Amino acid sequence: MTSVVSLAPPESQPQRFRGMRVFMVNKAAVIGLILLIILLLATLFAPLLTHYQPMRGFGRPLLPPSSVHLMGTDDLGRDVFTEVLYGERVSIIVGFLSSAIAFVVGVIAGSVAGYFGGAVDNIVMRITELFQVVPRIFLVIIMVALFGAHVEVTAIAIGITSWPPSARILRAEFLSRRESDYVMAARVIGASHWHVIVREILPNAISPMIVTATLNVATAVLLEASLAFLGLSDPNVSSLGRMLQGSVQFLQIAWWMSIFPGLVVVFIIVSINLIGDGLIDILNPKLRQ
């Protein structure tokens, strides 16, 4: 059925530019975007920003911040600034990877449930509700503890527990569109279910999903940091959450071990939430939460 041209009304070019303009006018969202870009560049060019290597001690332990160690050193003499720059990588990789996984699962579950309706919808939505009610942190802890605290295990565990909201949103979009004229027209011509779902409805229904996917990145960063804080992180890689676990017993004497990694986690999450809020304003002012 590849010969069938999409019958869905195409989103016009000027409208997309309008979206861009609304986003750029939203001051908070622009600040979020700039902050995120700075954070991404900092971790990407980490080797240029510090002449220390991660996971190795270079100074005396527990030195306060100075010109030699911008954020001080930790209990093993490691440079906190270097650890923060490299530790950001895990947060960002897990954040985006698990959001992508949740997006894919959410698209499949949401579109199948919303398009076919009836018994299929009922079963898929019950599974969705199940994943929403179950305390996620424990499910993720069990998976990561059993299968090993590697970056990819963590990302998969977080991804497959965070798709329910996006599936629900997409299902609602599909339910409201599956009876529309362009879907009917495509069916009359003899388009396959696959074509109708992927080429007709999905391109029109996907935009609210972008918001959820963005906010999922923030939640995933928080969850990854929580796991590392609880001792579930790859011991060979720098991680902001694990730094914050190590800092607890030195709070009385080394505030810098806690403040700097924590601020970076907060900056990552705030920047993504600001961008998400901006996207809500563009895509659907009514969705604003």
Partner 1 sequence: MRAIGLYVVRRLAWAVLVCIAAATMTFLLIRLAPGNPVSILAGDQSTPEYQAALTRQLGLDQSLWVQLVKYFQQLGHGDLGYSFTYHTPVASVIEARAAPTLLLMGLTLAISVVVGIWVGVHTAVRRGSKLWGAVEGATLVGYSLPAFWLGQVLILIFGVQLGWFPTLGETSDLGATGFAHIADVTWHLALPAATLGTIEVALISRLTRSAMVEALGSDYMVAARGKGVSQRRLVYRHALRNALLPVVTVIGLELGWLVAGFVVVETVFSWPGLGSLTFAAIDARDYPVITGLFIVITVSVVLANLLTDLVYLMIDPRIRVD
What does the binding site for partner 1 look like in residue numbers (CB under 8 A)?
28, 126, 130, 132-139, 141-143, 145-148, 218, 222-223, 225-226, 229-232, 244, 247-248, 251-252, 255, 258-259, 262, 265-266, 269-270, 273-274, 277, 286, 288-289
The CA–CA distances, whole Å, from 279 to 28, 34, 251, 261 equal 11, 15, 38, 28
Number of residues written out for the chain = 289
Give the torsion through C-alpha atoms of 72, 245, 274, 167, to 10 deg. 150
Q: What CA–CA distance (Å, rounded) separates 283 from 19?
A: 8
Q: What CA–CA distance (Å, rounded) separates 60 from 66?
A: 13
Query: Are residues 270 and 35 in contact, defined by beta-carbon separation less than 8 angstroms?
Result: yes
Q: Which residue has the tokens 């919303």?
A: 114
Nearby residues of 111 by Cβ (< 8 Å), 6 or more positions away: 170, 171, 174, 197, 201, 202, 205
The alpha helices in 190-230, defined as continuous H runs, are 193-195, 202-205, 207-229
For the bound state, the minimum distance from the C-beta of residue 8 to partner 1, rounded and expressed in Å, comes to: 28
First to last CA, the chain: 40
The alpha helices in the chain, defined as continuous H runs, are 13-25, 27-44, 46-49, 80-116, 118-133, 136-147, 151-159, 164-177, 181-189, 193-195, 202-205, 207-229, 240-246, 256-283
Query: Are residues 195 and 1 in contact, defined by beta-carbon separation less than 8 angstroms?
Result: yes
